[in-house]
Amino acid sequence: MICVAAHAQTQCPGYVETDAGSAFDVASIIRDTGSPQSALDKVRSAVARVNAGGGCSIFRDRLACEETMTLADKAIAALQACANAKVPKGTAHG
């Protein structure tokens, strides 16, 4: 069962990074929330709150916000792929 857990975790990247070098620790948010799907929900919720509040235009440092939102989009894409990854058929869940 240890091998199955290790295999499932390799579907998720440890972090994602923007072209500007900002990084998001995907592994930590998965660990903190308990699953890739829960992490995805949390990041989507944070992005939705920013967008509902007026987006990056409401912030003093709009460029920093835009960089953060770009990073969040990359994290969402990685978490979607990770959350949708299937454990190979015939393996046990433990």
Output the pLDDT for position 85: 82
Q: Is the pTM of this model over 0.75?
A: yes
Cα–Cα distance measured from residue 67 to residue 86, given in angstroms and rounded to the nearest whole number? 31
Q: What angle, 0 to 180 degrees and rounded to 10, lies between the N-to-C axes of helices 36-52 and 26-33?
A: 100
Q: Where are the domains of the chain?
A: 2-84
Are 91 and 4 in contact by the 8 Å Cβ rule? The answer is yes
Cα–Cα distance measured from residue 59 to residue 37, given in angstroms and rounded to the nearest whole number? 29
Output the pLDDT for position 1: 38
pLDDT in tens for each of the 94 residues of the chain? 343 444 444 489 999 999 999 999 999 999 999 999 999 999 999 999 999 999 999 999 999 999 999 999 999 999 999 998 854 544 444 3
